[in-house]
Amino acid sequence: MAEEELNANDNNLPTIESDSSTEGEDNDASSTATTSSTENKYFLKTDPDQDDKASEIKLWSFARPHMRAFHCAWWGYFIAFNLWFAAAPLLSEIRDSLKLTDEQIWTSSIAGVGGTVIMRFLLGPCCDKYGARILYLVILCSASIPTACLGLVHTATGLTVTRLCIGFAGGTFVMCQYWCTKMFTPNVVGTANATAAGWGNLGAGVAQLIMGSALFPLFKWFYSFNTEDPASIAEKAWRTVSVVPATIAFASGIVMYFISEDAPRGNFKQLKQQGEMQDVKLASSFIGGLLDVNTWLLFVQYACCFGVEMTMNNAAALYFKDQFGQSTESAAAIASIFGFLNLFARGLGGYCSDKANARAGMRGRLWVHTIVLLLEGSLILVFSQTTSLASAIVTMASFSLFVQMAEGSSYGIVPYVNPPITGSISGIVGAGGNAGAVLFSLGFRQLPYEDAFRLMGSCIIGSAFLSLFIFIRHHPGLIFDGRSPPPSSQEDDEDGLGKPSSDLALTDGSDEEDSRTSYDVEAVAVVQDASSSTHAKPHSTTSMGDFCVELSSESQMHDNHNHKTMQRQEEDQQ
């Protein structure tokens, strides 16, 4: 009853949905009945041809299954980030208490992000087989144990091993992206993925602020009643404060398991028993992701955005304390700015990717992705030359914006690479972020700050040019058109991403004969596919991930052209 009341009160909530026009006149009575039934079944607008995925996002709704899964996805990742970086703002205190060197501290940080590389590779195919819900339960509850035990370490080796185990929590990113991809159609999946991941990444900024600037001083105040030795007070505080995020994470993993579903139509186990879903083989799913060249190009590019964020989460507090003489509390507060931009920046990257896709298809997504990477790398080079505290903070906030936008634009592309094995591809690309963090952290361990930042910025700028070599099946490249022939309608149904109709409707504004000829050929192919079988599903603009959602005078011209082509085809058949 409470859930029905909640859903009833959600009618006026802010909505993110496709601007695509529908072709209601072409739908027969049976498809209308199906749509009506779907609308009655779910709170959000859904596409029955894509396993009832939602074609809109209502951010403030918690209705099952779509929005409930969305909020569980970002919250689980948010809590995992709190575990993952609970120690980051306390590293200077840990270093002083255990008499460690900076190199030993950086070794522990490398272990913390290195452990996640392995988990993301493994969790990708596991998502395809088991779904995100049960994996969230396992990872959050498991990672909370070493987090609670952080205060028991007394050596550099102990710190490294503990942070390695805590780092497994970072694998939840794969579940976050996979869960959203299972719940939302391609026209909004970029925004859904980016917003969920961005709000999850916000956990790093919250960890910096809460652990370093709130809980740590609070615990020091509490222990000050028992002793007057400042060093002893600080040591007791950092050894016990990590119990707080560990407890929250353990409870969250259990609750999320019971209040959500794996997919719009139910949990994976139920769907397999009903024959609505085929069981996925872990090996074939993983190998399929490994053999796709696009996966590895995105792997490198994600290393140069998410890897930068991971490195900054570990380095920022130390940098501002060592370079500008800030206290632990002040340095943690400044470092939190980097993470707090995740509140909107990553979602902004996904939103820009979706809007560019609406106007220019996959080519638009690739251009957005390339531009934000170039801006990110350039601003990091500027940051490496800053000498005042104020300019360093402003520049850090600026390049943080583009770091997180690049993360969002990355996962606006990932769902298109190979839809049936999205989990494996998400895991491999996500592992690239942690691989990048390991490599950049090695640079910070061996080089002065200025040289390390310069190296990082140069690598990012170089990675932006890899977009030239990304060619996704049935979609144009960044500059060159590397598409395969149009897929059959059956292939479209299997992929769940629809035909590249935005590519048919967009000719880059060109009126050249080649463009018109290409359009004629592909339009005829569509007509032949539509007329070849009475059982073929109608092509709906709202179910195609890269359809143009803002009709212009140019798109109207293409509609007229397509109509004439269909008339010529009918005359030929007669």
Percent of the chain as helix, strand, coil, to the nearest 5: 75, 0, 20
Contacts 24+ apart (CB under 8 A), 156-163: 156/98, 156/100, 156/104, 156/107, 156/108, 159/94, 159/98, 159/100, 159/104, 159/108, 160/104, 160/107, 160/108, 160/111, 161/111, 163/87, 163/108, 163/109, 163/111, 163/112, 163/115
pLDDT in tens, 153-212: 999 999 999 999 999 999 998 999 999 999 999 888 888 988 998 899 888 888 888 998
Asked whether 412 and 385 are in contact (CB, 8 A), the reply is no
Output Rg (C-alpha) for the chain, integer angstroms. Answer: 25
Asked whether 496 and 50 are in contact (CB, 8 A), the reply is yes
Exposure string of 473-495, with b = 16+ CB inside 10 Å and e = fewer, is: bbbbbbeeeebeebbebeebeeb
Cβ–Cβ contacts within 10 Å for residue 522, how many?
A: 19
Maximum Cα interatomic distance, the chain, rounded to a whole number of Å = 98
How far from the centroid of its chain's Cα atoms is residue 316's Cα? 23
Asked whether 411 and 193 are in contact (CB, 8 A), the reply is yes
Residue-by-residue pLDDT tens, the chain, 574 positions = 444 444 444 444 444 444 443 334 344 434 443 444 444 588 899 999 998 999 999 999 999 999 999 999 999 999 999 998 899 889 989 999 999 998 999 899 889 888 888 888 889 889 888 999 999 999 999 999 999 999 999 999 999 999 999 999 999 989 999 999 999 998 888 889 889 988 998 888 888 889 988 999 999 999 988 877 888 899 999 999 999 999 999 999 999 999 999 999 999 888 888 888 777 777 877 888 889 999 999 999 999 999 999 899 888 988 998 889 888 889 888 988 988 888 899 989 999 999 999 999 999 999 999 999 999 999 999 999 998 999 999 999 999 999 999 999 998 999 899 888 888 898 899 899 989 999 999 999 889 999 999 999 999 999 999 999 999 988 889 987 755 444 443 344 443 333 333 333 333 333 333 333 333 333 334 334 444 443 433 333 333 333 333 333 444 444 454 445 555 555 554 4
* Secondary structure class of 16 (helix, strand, coil): strand
* Secondary structure class of 87 (helix, strand, coil): coil
Amino acid type, 509: G
* Secondary structure class of 195 (helix, strand, coil): helix
Cis peptide before 146 (omega within 30 of 0): no
pTM of the predicted protein model: 0.67
Token couple for 299: 């792997």
Question: What's the CA gap between 176 and 196, in Å, rounded?
Answer: 7
Token couple for 200: 């999850």
Question: What's the CA gap between 56 and 73, in Å, rounded?
Answer: 17
Q: Are strands 53-54 and 46-47 parallel, antiparallel or unpaired?
A: antiparallel
Q: Which of 447, 415, 178, 461 is nearest to 304 (CA)?
A: 461
Q: Which of 447, 227, 231 is nearest to 328 (CA)?
A: 231
240: left (phi over 0), alpha (psi -120 to 50) or beta: alpha
The burial of 344, by beta-carbon neighbours within 10 Å (0-12 exposed, 13-18 middle, 19 or more buried), is given as middle
Q: Which residues contact 169 (CB under 8 A, 6 or more apart)?
A: 80, 81, 83, 84, 116, 139, 140, 143, 147, 249
281 vs 50, 124, 260, 286, 287, CA distance in Å?
22, 12, 24, 9, 10
Handedness of CA 228, 231, 235, 237 (dihedral sign): positive
Amino acid type, 308: V
pLDDT in tens, 201-255: 888 888 888 998 899 999 999 998 887 788 889 999 999 999 999 999 999 999 9
Q: Which of 191, 147, 196, 188 is nearest to 172 (CA)?
A: 196
Asked whether 208 and 330 are in contact (CB, 8 A), the reply is no
Domains of the chain and CATH, by start:
66-264+284-469 (1.20.1250.20), 491-573 (no CATH)
Q: Which spans in 418-544 are helix H?
A: 422-446, 449-464, 489-495, 501-505, 513-532
Question: What's the CA gap between 405 and 402, in Å, rounded?
Answer: 5
Residue 46 bridge partners (DSSP): 54
Amino acid type, 244: V
Helix axes 156-166, 132-148, angle to 10 degrees: 160
Question: What's the CA gap between 570 and 574, in Å, rounded?
Answer: 6
